[in-house]
């Protein structure tokens, strides 16, 4: 996983490196011979740690695909690091609700005091894990430390750009003054509040529903905070088990040593947990998420700078078939960046339909007539991840049908990502996760946000869109914001700097011994404190 940016909304998932089994093991598993089940059992038996015992009723065991780099909220940016730190060990001022609006967390309520002023009222019963109260001075300390360039927090630049001052009014009231009106400011405050007394020796002293207990390379253990201000969690401990190999993840679940897996199973393995004996032991929950898969163009490329070519490519790719076969039906066709159900989603928007004949006609109109069945060659860069390469091959075949020769080049994740940042590509595909506020359009498509200053990797530039994105940032009236972002979406649908592919669903495989679990739109751990366990 690549990163979980400030305020949940900017997590980009890397279609990264192949992980888990060795090449020899992988070849054996791929042969589909009668010995595959035997080999799978051998792999399970001889993995480090051997077989896991079933967990007890006081222990919730959650599967992770990879270990978080850090749980320190000052520096945590990967998905699991942020989810464990921000949603379980620490608490933010506000958080993202199920309906994609901002809801209370440590701040019970807030008000706008001026176009650039906000006042937050803290929960009076909130305590850090050492028993000290959560106070406005802690909020001031947290924000000032994050904005300190010496601290070098990845959250610092965005906060420094927007916040002029933070001031404690009294023990439970804190004021923010912004440098300019910023409509999406609340979404910037889903950051964990730290104790001003913690010091460097206690970086994980939080106020959340769980306390950090210990960590090893393949395990993280949290214990219940009995004094949590919204009531104690339903289980005594959460144990996060890191299982990197996808075949082993399936086997661990089947054996019963894992209680919960969120977006951690291969999509082609999900169905088996809905039927037969496994269906009696597990519930599969599935709901729309905030993951957006797209195909990006280099708009400075001589061929792809032509909008007719981009539209032709959009009509040439059979996205519905990709969703059926690559995604196993666990995704929804995307019409744009914003997730289904967003109040800012443009009603009635449609994706370019699959129409190879229209694609060929547009290429003719663009001046790329077919000569001996070929019009031009382009390069598609991807990582070495197997599913990413499969996606590339399907697109390659679709484009070949309309006379476009697409050369697939796969690279180790770091090399691939660096090339995308530098603009050294023609086509690529990645996905954004956690986008809930339309202000993210500014980061992706404003002409000032070309790397390294932003994430406009496709090098899109449109003065009209720039003005709209600037207006959208400062429009404090909800109706006005919606009108602005509706027009933004219409322009992007016409210019096609991206081809929108799909929004991934969140999928949780849940032991039927658990009650109280719900899927959050981010796929995060917001509802783990509500889970109770009725048995092993």
One-character DSSP codes across 198-253: --TT-TT---SSEEEEEEETTEEEEEE-TT-TT---SSSEEEEEE---HHHHHHHH
DSSP state of 189: G
Q: β-pairing, 427-433 with 11-13? A: antiparallel
For residue 258, the number of C-alpha atoms closer than 13 Å in the C-beta half-sphere is 26
Q: How far is CA 486 from CA 24, 135, 187, 292, in A?
A: 52, 40, 20, 18
| pLDDT on residue 399 | 98
Instruction: Please say whether the beta carbons of 197 and 132 come within 8 A.
Output: yes
In terms of C-beta density within 10 A (0-12 exposed, 13-18 middle, 19 or more buried), how is residue 527 classed?
middle
SS3 105: coil
Calculate the CA 115 to chain-centre distance.
31
Q: How far is CA 353 from CA 72, 167, 207, 480, 484, in A?
A: 45, 53, 50, 31, 26
| pLDDT on residue 40 | 44
What residue ranges in 384-497 does DSSP mark as E strands? 404-411, 427-433
| pLDDT on residue 55 | 53
Instruction: Please say whether the beta carbons of 308 and 366 come within 8 A.
Output: yes
CA distance 193 to 18: 36
Helices (H), 286-385: 307-316, 319-325, 356-365
Longest dimension (CA), the chain: 77
Q: Which helix (H) or strand (E) holds 288?
A: strand 282-297
Other beta carbons within 10 angstroms of residue 326's beta carbon come to: 21
Q: β-pairing, 376-383 with 427-433? A: parallel
CA distance 151 to 165: 18
CA distance 348 to 309: 24
CA distance 50 to 43: 9
CA distance 449 to 86: 27
Domains of the chain, each with CATH number or no CATH: 11-87+205-257+513-533 (3.40.190.10), 93-189 (3.90.76.10), 291-504 (3.10.105.10)
| pLDDT on residue 326 | 87
CA distance 239 to 55: 9
Instruction: Please say whether the beta carbons of 363 and 374 come within 8 A.
Output: no
| pLDDT on residue 535 | 66
SS (H, E, C) 155-185: CHHHHHHHEEEEEEEECCEEEEEECCCCCCH
CA distance 139 to 195: 8
Strand partners, 508: 262, 285
Examine residue 236 and say whether the peptide bond preceding it is cis (omega within 30 degrees of 0).
no
What is the mean pLDDT of each successive set of 10 residues along the chain, which is 536 residues long?
Answer: 39 37 36 42 42 67 94 91 95 93 96 97 97 98 96 93 97 98 94 92 94 96 97 97 93 94 93 95 95 96 98 98 92 93 90 97 97 96 91 96 97 92 95 90 95 91 98 95 97 97 96 95 95 83
CA distance 32 to 24: 14
SS3 337: coil
Q: Which residues contact 410 (CB under 8 A, 6 or more apart)?
A: 381, 382, 383, 384, 388, 389, 392, 416
Instruction: Please say whether the beta carbons of 64 and 252 come within 8 A.
Output: no
Buried/exposed 105-128: b ≥16 CB within 10 Å, e otherwise: bbbeebeeeeebebbbbbbeebbb
Q: By C-alpha distance, which of 183, 212, 42, 72 is closest to 118?
A: 183
CA distance 91 to 95: 9
| pLDDT on residue 257 | 92
CA distance 108 to 124: 9
Instruction: Please say whether the beta carbons of 333 and 276 come within 8 A.
Output: no
């Amino acid at each position: 996983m690549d990163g979980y940016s400030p305020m949940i909304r900017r997590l980009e998932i890397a279609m990264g490196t192949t992980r888990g089994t060795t090449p020899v093991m992988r070849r054996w598993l791929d042969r589909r011979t009668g010995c595959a089940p035997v080999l799978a059992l051998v792999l399970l038996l001889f993995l480090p740690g051997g077989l896991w015992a079933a967990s007890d009723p006081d222990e919730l065991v959650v599967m992770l695909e990879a270990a978080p780099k850090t749980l320190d909220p000052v520096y945590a940016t990967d998905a699991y690091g942020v989810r464990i730190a921000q949603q379980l060990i620490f608490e933010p001022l506000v958080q993202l609700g199920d309906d994609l609006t901002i809801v209370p967390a440590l701040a019970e309520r807030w008000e706008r005091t001026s176009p650039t002023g906000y006042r937050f009222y803290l929960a009076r019963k909130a305590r850090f894990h050492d028993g000290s109260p959560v106070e406005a001075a802690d909020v001031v300390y947290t924000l000032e430390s994050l904005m300190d360039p010496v601290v070098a927090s990845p959250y610092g630049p965005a906060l420094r750009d927007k916040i002029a001052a933070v001031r404690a009014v009294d023990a439970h009231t804190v004021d923010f003054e912004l440098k300019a009106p910023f409509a999406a400011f609340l979404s910037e405050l889903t950051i964990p509040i730290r104790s001003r007394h913690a010091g460097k020796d206690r970086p994980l002293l939080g106020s959340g529903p769980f306390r950090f207990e210990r960590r090893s390379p393949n395990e993280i253990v949290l214990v219940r905070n009995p004094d949590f201000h919204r009531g104690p969690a339903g289980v005594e401990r959460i144990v996060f088990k890191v299982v990197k190999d996808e075949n082993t993840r399936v086997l661990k679940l089947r054996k019963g040593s894992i209680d919960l897996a969120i977006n951690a199973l291969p999509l082609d393995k999900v169905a088996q947990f809905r039927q037969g004996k496994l269906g009696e032991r597990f519930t599969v929950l599935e709901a729309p998420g905030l993951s957006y898969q797209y195909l990006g163009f280099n708009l400075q490329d001589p061929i792809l700078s032509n909008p007719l070519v981009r539209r032709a490519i959009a009509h040439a790719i059979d996205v519905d078939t990709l969703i059926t076969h690559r995604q196993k039906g666990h995704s929804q066709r995307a019409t744009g960046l914003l997730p289904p159900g967003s109040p800012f989603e443009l009603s009635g928007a449609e994706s370019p339909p699959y129409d190879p004949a229209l694609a060929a006609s547009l290429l003719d109109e663009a001046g790329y007539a077919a000569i001996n069945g070929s019009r031009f060659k382009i390069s598609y860069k991807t990582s070495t991840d197997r599913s990413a390469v499969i996606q590339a091959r399907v697109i390659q075949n679709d484009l070949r049908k309309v006379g476009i020769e697409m050369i697939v080049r796969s690279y180790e994740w770091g090399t691939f990502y660096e090339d995308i940042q530098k603009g050294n590509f023609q086509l690529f595909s990645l996905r954004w996760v956690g986008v809930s506020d339309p202000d993210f359009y500014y980061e992706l498509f404003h002409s000032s946000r070309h790397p390294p200053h932003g994430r406009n990797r496709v090098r899109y530039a449109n003065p009209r869109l720039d003005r709209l994105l600037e207006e959208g940032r400062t429009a404090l009236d909800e109706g006005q914001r919606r009108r602005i972002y509706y027009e933004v979406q219409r322009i992007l649908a016409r210019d096609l700097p991206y081809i929108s592919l799909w929004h991934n669903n969140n999928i949780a495989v849940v032991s039927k011994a658990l009650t109280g679990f719900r899927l959050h739109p981010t796929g995060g751990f917001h509802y783990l404190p509500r889970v109770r366990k009725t048995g092993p």
